[in-house]
Amino acid sequence: MTPERKEAVVSEIVRGTPSTYPAWFSARKRSKPLIVSRRVPILLVGLPVLVLLAIVIYPTIWMFYHSLRDTNINHLFSGEHASVGLENYRTVLSSERFHDSLWHLALYLFFGACLQVLLGTLLALIIYEYLKSNLARALILILLVLPMMLPPSIVGTLWRFLLTPSNGAINQALLDLGIISSHIEWFNAGVSLWSIIIADVWNWTALPLLIVYSGRVSLPPAVYEAARVDGAGQWKVLRRITLPMLKEVIAIAFILRFTDAFKFVDLVYVMTSGGPAQSSELPTYIAFQRGIREFAIGEAAAYAIIIFAISAIIVTLFLKYMKRVMKAQGLA
Amino acid sequence: MANITIEGLCKGWDFPVIDDLSVEIEEGEFFVVVGPSGIGKTTLLRLIAGLESADRGRILLGEREVTHLPPYRRRVAMTFESYALYPHLTVFENISSPLRARKKDRATIERRVKAVAQLLRIDHLLDRKPGQVSGGQKQRTALGRTLVADPEVFLLDEPISHLDAKIRQDLRMQFHTLEELRRVATLYVTHDYAEALSLGDRIGVMGNGGKLVQIGSARELFERPKALFVAEHLGQPTINAIPSILQEENGSLFACAENAALRLALSPQQSQRLNGGAKRRIVLGLRPQHVRPADELRGRDSEIDAQIDIFEALGSNGIIITKAGGVTITGLTHPERHFEPGQDLRLAIDTEALHIFDAETGLSLLEEPRWQG
Amino acid sequence: MAATADIAQANTQAAQTAERWRAVRYLFLIFLGFWLLFTLFPLYFMAITAFKSAAETNLTQPTFWPQEWFPENFVGVFAEPTNFSALVDSFIIATGNTLLSLLLGSLAGYAFARFPRQAGGENMAFWMLSNRMFPPVAILVPMFFLFDNTPWGTDSHISLIILYLVFNLPLATWLMMVFFRDVPHELEEAAYLDGWKPLRAFVKVTLPLVLPGMISVAMLCWIFAWNEYLFANLFVGSDVRTYTIVIPTFTHGSQTLWNLQMAFSLIAMIPPVVLFIVLRRYMVRGLSLGVVKG
């Protein structure tokens, strides 16, 4: 084999360009589009990208910089803050407060995100399978979605009101129904986090519910007719047809709730302010508290960057999955 | 009114699609490009329309070079395979779109749209939206939109491929009779050989690498294909292609099927064209209409023994698929005859009509080698 | 004989399964009923509280039906003029942010849908989307100091209009991309061949077809901006106050004015609820980032 021939074969393997392609093909320049200049798409995308760079990327870099310094409010603008290496991270990672807040986050992720998707899916399927009138379905959907249309501040104050231990409506109702015999102290240590989770489940279960319901509606009826002809029981139909076909839809609902859960902090603010005694704090809440209320900016920045890093991993994984789903649907 | 001149047109994305294509289509000519799906026919139309830019080569409409002009400066009308009707506009608004784009006055628009709609028999649908009319009516609307534009060139991309057989026939007849199409250069793209043979003044067969393998009239292409690819693409049932080797015996040539016991004598003219060449590897092309049961075809025929594999009685003819000396050969017969699978019969082959192609290049050895691969 | 026995057995089995499913069905319907109660009870209590007197809301035993009706609460809310101006502020911010998000998002969304390669490919589109998914904690502190140094300061409409782009611009871009993709490219090409220039072709063909999607994106962005609490809580408060930060502050001395608070909440939730009911079908598409067709 001559060297030239060998080269051609190697390039064919590496670049997938058979050496038999005509000369003009390898020599060609990218032809100029006739209708819309190549610059237009770049301009169209450029403006939004610049905006996001300014309001997302710049602040993130700012935070990263200050996470390595002993910045506080007194010398933030004078620039007299000194580099402290990874000291801020060490402080955060070794603090009891951070560990506790991670545990709270784990509880919240499980009950706030997973449970909502589970309940939402169950409710969506119940509504679709057992309610046959379209009017009833639409009405119940609208009623169940109402909490989702409320801002966190209303949800928070409303539930703080409902859960007031001494004369709250929930305690009174449970007493009247004979379910409990004495008032539950909803905002004591150990309970307050659960109060927040209850409010959040009330607030957001409708999202997975809506998404799964719409997914179920668009499943082809032919599959179900075929299953009925084959004499498959309801349980089998659910396990072998409905759930597998709704897999992607449920996963998307889960992704949305899970990433939202990482951002979640506002109900903590409104309902408990992290208390009592920091028993319902989430990492994000501490970051805000340290940064904006107590102006320990270096430490807050370390919190922020840690949270950012964790969610970067999760968001990347989720987006990969979403890309696959959208490819399968021909959307991307 | 103008000719379309295409010189050395090249276009590729990740691989070359149109490779050094040159053709001239005259004013008033109905030129059909036929070829298998995905070969680059639509790309050719899009290049002429200005929806894609050429990597190399020139496109001229008349004297005017349009290679670097956007579509709205080219005076080219095109129908899309998907019809591409505006779903939010009525049939009337769809058809009048080219006139409105050129700022014609209301009365002119009204008059011309009505005339075209009448011609295409969709004048009762003008107030409907595309979603409310049938597939054939959609195609007529798309056609109306191009006809009304009064362009220098018509480009029609698989205009009737997705319609039912009966409507397809109906519209095909209409293409024959539409004056407008016969006045200017029309480029019609299809994968259906029957459409091509029926409609084209000239036909270009597009083959791999986006070249026009052969250009000619329907008769020319059918009777004197320059390449096996052309012969295989035109005609139903498909031509019998039998890999063979040439052998010489007593001064005359024979084609012997490879690894099979089939042997056909070639005529003196054919032998002369092949100019000796014994031991050469060839592909024998044998159209089914030149293979018949021996009692149906008489004259200068070779006869061979064969056995029926499958018999299909279609309306206008019968198809026999036979085994002869280990080679499968498809032939035709009268539809009212009947054959049983396994039945022996004697086949007559019109050797005068044989096509002989080079086994390596696929080019015809009998025709002038005008086209170079 | 054996065959008949088999059939009989199969029949009893089928009957048993059917019986079991009937039981499960009731169980499920009871659960649905319970969930409706769980969802609606807080809303119900919110509604009746809005009609109670201040004294009644502070009884040691809460009442589940107002002893006396006080519809004037809904007027009383606005006795404090800042409450009304809070709704106005929220409206200005939500609308301003929606318009900006929609404009910028449509530009980029169109580019992603039509010129994916030139616009940076799908990775660029996914990067845009990822901005919505990240926790805003990393940006709030620096943005606070950044806006503090601008002439309009943090406590202004403009600061929130810009800040809300953090979540609404990625959403609008992404969804507009999805909706633009639904419009076949060939329609625009047909328009070019008809003689329309690119901008006219866009306005005549693509825009009308994408308009329903665009409206639903606008509504979604508007609801998110209207309901935003966290950013507003940190950034504004004296010159500008959104209704979401006003709600937790309904107090008189040490007493919370629950009745006025709930009345105000009821008023503020009207716009999003109405928008949702009208655009339910499109909302699902938007809420699921375009993956689930509503």
Q: Which amino acid is at A205?
A: T
Tokens of B264: 């056909």
Helix C165-182 crosses helix C81-114 at what angle (to 10 degrees)?
A: 40
User: What does the mean pLDDT of chain C come to?
Assistant: 86
What is the nearest CA distance from C115 to chain B, expressed in angstroms? 13
In which band, very low, low, confident or very high, does the pLDDT at A169 lie, cut at 50, 70 and 90?
confident
How long, in residues, is chain C?
Answer: 294
Going by pLDDT thresholds of 50, 70 and 90, the confidence category of residue C207 is very high
pLDDT at residue A16 tops 60:
no
3-state secondary structure of B6: strand
- Looking at residue A29, the DSSP 8-state letter turns out to be P
User: A20 to chain B: which residues are within 8 Å by CB?
Assistant: none
Sequence ranges of the domains in chain B: 4-226, 240-358
State how far the Cα of B364 lies from the Cα of A56, in Å rounded to an integer: 67
From A214, A266, A332, residue closest to C229, measured CB to CB: A266
CB B35 within 8 A of CB B13: no
CA distance B72 to chain A (A): 9
For strands B327-333 and B281-286, give the pairing.
unpaired
Rounded mean pLDDT, B24-40: 88
Contacts of C141 in chain A (CB under 8 A): 59, 63, 291-292, 297, 300-301, 304
User: By residue range, what is the domain housing residue A13?
Assistant: 1-31
Residue of C234, C292, C293 to mutate, testing the A interface (most A Cβ within 10 Å of its Cβ): C292
Q: What is the CATH number of domain B240-358?
A: 2.40.50.140
CATH class of B4-226: alpha beta
pLDDT band for A155, please (50, 70, 90 cuts): very high
Are A186 and A269 in a shared domain?
yes
A270-326, pLDDT tens digit by residue? 888 877 888 888 888 888 888 877 878 888 888 888 888 888 888 888 888 888 888
For chain A, what is the domain count?
2
Reply yes or no on whether the pLDDT at A19 is more than 70.
no
Q: Does one domain contain both A106 and A232? A: yes
Helix (H) or strand (E) run with residue B18 in it: strand B16-25
Q: pTM here?
A: 0.85
The verdict on residue A243 lying in a domain is yes
Does A304 lie in the same domain as A181? yes
Half-sphere exposure of C257 (CA within 13 A, CB side): 17
Q: What is the pLDDT of residues B242-257, one digit of tens each?
A: 888 888 887 778 888 8
Note whether B102 contacts C187, CB cutoff 8 Å. no
ipTM for the predicted complex: 0.86
Of B12, B144, B141, B84, the C-alpha closest to C191 is: B84
- Across the range C98-125, mean pLDDT stands at 89
CA distance B213 to B198: 19
DSSP states along C193-240 = HHT--HHHHIIIIIHHHHHHHHHHHHHHHHHHHHT--HHHHHH-SSS-
Collect all residues of chain B within an 8 Å Cβ-Cβ radius of residue A33.
Answer: 53
The residue type at A332: A
* A128-147 core/surface letters (b: 16 or more CB in 10 A; e: else): beebeeeeebeebbeebbbb
Q: Could you tell me if C102 and C165 are in contact, meaning their C-beta atoms sit under 8 angstroms apart?
A: no
* 8 A C-beta contact, residue C179 and residue C210: yes
Residues in chain A: 332
What CATH number is given to the structural domain containing A316? Answer: 1.10.3720.10
Domains and CATH numbers, chain C: 80-255+268-287 (1.10.3720.10)
Residue A39 maps to a domain: no
Q: Which two tokens stand for residue C251?
A: 């107090």
CA distance readout (Å), B11 to A23, A111, B206, B373: 12, 57, 15, 18
Segment 29-68 of chain A within 8 Å of chain B by CB = 29, 31-35
Tell whether A46 is covered by a domain.
Answer: no
Q: Is the peptide bond before B237 cis (omega within 30 degrees of 0)?
A: yes
In a domain, A152, yes or no: yes
Q: What is the mean pLDDT of chain B?
A: 86
Å from C145 to nearest chain A CA?
Answer: 9
Contact across the interface for A34 and B68, Cβ inside 8 Å:
yes
Residue A257 lies in a domain: yes
> Is A72 inside a domain boundary?
no
- From the list A280, A268, A261, A260, the residue with the least C-alpha distance to A101 is A280
Report how many Cβ contacts below 8 Å link chain A to chain C: 281
d(CA B210, CA B21): 7
Residue A115 lies in a domain: yes
Name residues whose C-beta falls within 8 Å of residue B169's C-beta, 6 or more positions apart in sequence: none
Q: Is the residue at A78 inside a domain?
A: no
For residue A105, the distance in angstroms to the closest alpha carbon of chain C comes to 13
